[in-house]
Every structure is written in structure tokens, then in C-alpha cells.
Amino acid sequence: MKHGSEKEAEVKSVQQELNQLNISAITKGRFRERVAKVVKAQLDEQKAVQKKEMKLATEAVTKFFDKNKDEKVFVGRLPGVGANSKAVGEALNSVKAKMVKKVVYLFALEGEEGKEGGKVVHGCYVPEEASKQGASATEWANTVSQVVGGKAGGKGATCIGNGTEPGKVDEAVEAATKYLERFKL
């Protein structure tokens, strides 16, 4: 079975069923060892996927600013990255550390657009220069959250949120871009 929420649910179900079984302690112990191996393999797979997505997210932002050296703003999706808040956070931290004057809003999706049950992770970084002009990471993220649903929060120059409507990401990108038009960046 492929990695994902279905596999996680199936593993949890098997663990619960195993705990309910009326079998000998020795046999139950052997089954638990086998299930523990599956759980460990699943966790290792999740960590590998997260690490890969963190790298992809950081590279996407870096490549954009390498190609567009005069640009001060990037608002867009992270290709190949699911709704992974750690990947979005890592990309924002990279901007904060290496591209201090850049303004960034990132979107990562899980699930197909237009289908229910998907998730959106979004986050922004507003440098000091933009903050002096009145831009606020919290206000910006809340503007986007109104479009994609869910909530956003953070402190200082960064903010990360989770949304429930991946089908509205294009509209959210537009709202994020429109928010910045009020400032001279």
C-alpha cells in the first residue's frame, strides 16, 4: 500500500484489532512485533517524504530568486510539495536567513483541486522593510485564510496557516498578491 492517510488509517485499525484479539500472549506478541515493523517503516517513509519536500520547497524559492534577481516578491505554489507545514516553514526560514529583504507567500496543497477532503498549507514572510510600510504577516495570512478556509498564526515576520479548500488556491494567490499592492515594494 502506498504511503498516505489511507495507509495510516489501516495501520491504526490493525493495531486496534490486534489489541482486541483473544489469542495467546505469545502469538499476540509476535503479531505486535510484525505490526511494529510496519509502523516503523511507515514512519521512516513519512520522514523521507518530509525531508524531500522540505528540500523541494527551499529549492523552489531559491531558484525563483536566482532567475529573477530584481524581484522582491514571490507569491505562488510550491510544486511537488504536499500540505506539509514543515516544508513551508523550512522554506520561510531559508528566506528569513538568506534573502532577508524578500517578501514571500507560499502555498502547498494536498488533494486534487475542486475535490473535497484536501488541505492547503500556506505561509508568508514579511521583512522589516515591508513591515515599516504597514505590511503585516498576520494580517496577510488572515486575508488568505478567509479564501482557503482554516486559520493562520505566527509571530513576528512569519505566519503559517492551514486551509480546507485546495480548490480556491488560485483565488488565494490572487488575494495574497492584491494585499501587497497597497504597499510600495
Question: Phi then psi for 7, rounded to 5 degrees?
Answer: -65, -40
CA-angle at 79, arms to 78 and 83, nearest 5°: 60
Cell numbers given for 124: 508568508
Cell numbers given for 148: 482557503
Task: Please give the single-letter amino acid code of residue 180.
Answer: L
Round to whole Å and give the CA distance between 62 and 91. Answer: 9
Cell numbers given for 87: 516544508
First to last CA, the chain: 48
- pLDDT, position 67: 95
Is the CB of residue 39 less than 8 Å from the CB of residue 3? no
What are the mean pLDDT values of the chain's consecutive 10-residue runs (185 residues total)?
Answer: 74 86 90 90 89 93 93 92 90 92 93 65 94 92 94 92 92 94 81
What burial class does residue 107 get, using C-beta atoms within 10 Å of its C-beta: 0-12 exposed, 13-18 middle, 19+ buried?
A: buried
- pLDDT, position 3: 66
Distance of CA 68 to the CA centre of its chain: 24
Dihedral of alpha carbons 114, 174, 75, 89, sign: negative
C-alpha distances in Å from residue 73, one per residue of 36, 62, 69, 158, 178: 46, 12, 10, 15, 12
pTM to 2 decimal places:
0.81
**E strands along the chain, which residues?**
73-77, 103-110, 119-125, 151-153, 158-163
Round to whole Å and give the CA distance between 69 and 65. Answer: 5
